[in-house]
A = this chain, B = another copy of it.
Amino acid sequence: MADREPVELKLREQVVLKLRELILGGELAAGQRVAEIPISERLGVSRTPVRQALTILAQEGLLSAAGKRGYVVHAFSAKDILDAIEVRGILEGAAARLTAEAGPSPDLMQALEACLAEGEIIATQEHYGLDDDVRWVGVNGRFHKLIVEASANAALISALALNDKRPFASAQAVLGGDAPSRPIARRHHEVVLRAQAEHKRIVEALRLRQGTRLQSLMQEHARLAQANVALFRPA
């Protein structure tokens, strides 16, 4: 997981991120053909990282193979997005339960309490704004990552990493979009207040090693993200 990757792999990862953004943002629309040469020209990189990136995105399901070295952008429905969020809940719930059953370490509890304290400051801002969104995405990401990695199950961590690449599936996608309008910022603040309250219960259940309760809480917590889907992608 924490391999120091050579420069070539970093470039490939950047191309993966850029292509994913173009697809999710709709600039490369569903059904559109995607080929090695035009993409390498568009991004100003050599063909090798582009070729590898296309292979990876096809494995993820964002692209479908279509002819020699060609791909088309895969169509994603609202159901696909809700399903991926459901799977995140299932996996995060299982990870939390495994950690509770094994007994959480004092270090883990301390790190989670630090996330709660930081989250409390953000959630109780009087004038909640874009900066708070950005800070929340950071602390929320750390909170979820701590719980998943504490499971110490490589297969589970890897299944979640794959699922996180699906549109709107990751905990980081709970908010998103840049420069939200005032009504959307208000909606974000409501989501953050609910999420922070749920985080507190999750930490309590983990401290008490209540595995079954924790799994249910964590699984339901993921559904907060389902409410956001309508914001970006009206049915």
Asked if A28 CB lies within 8 Å of chain B CBs, one says no
Assess whether B153 is in contact with A67, with CB atoms less than 8 Å apart. Answer: no
Question: DSSP majority for the A interface?
Answer: helix
Assess whether B91 is in contact with A159, with CB atoms less than 8 Å apart. Answer: yes
Count identical subunits in the complex. Answer: 2
Asked if A69 CB lies within 8 Å of chain B CBs, one says yes
List residues of chain B with CB within 8 A of the CB of A120.
Answer: none
Assess whether B65 is in contact with A159, with CB atoms less than 8 Å apart. Answer: no
Assess whether B153 is in contact with A87, with CB atoms less than 8 Å apart. Answer: yes
Assess whether B158 is in contact with A61, with CB atoms less than 8 Å apart. Answer: yes
Assess whether B156 is in contact with A83, with CB atoms less than 8 Å apart. Answer: yes
List residues of chain B with CB within 8 A of the CB of A64.
Answer: 3
Q: Complex formed: what's the CA distance from A64 to B9 in Å? A: 11
In the complex, given contacts A56-B59, A61-B158, what are 16 additional A-B residue pairs having Cβ atoms less than 8 angstroms apart? A3-B64, A6-B65, A51-B52, A52-B55, A55-B55, A59-B59, A83-B154, A83-B155, A84-B155, A87-B153, A87-B155, A87-B159, A155-B163, A159-B162, A159-B163, A162-B162
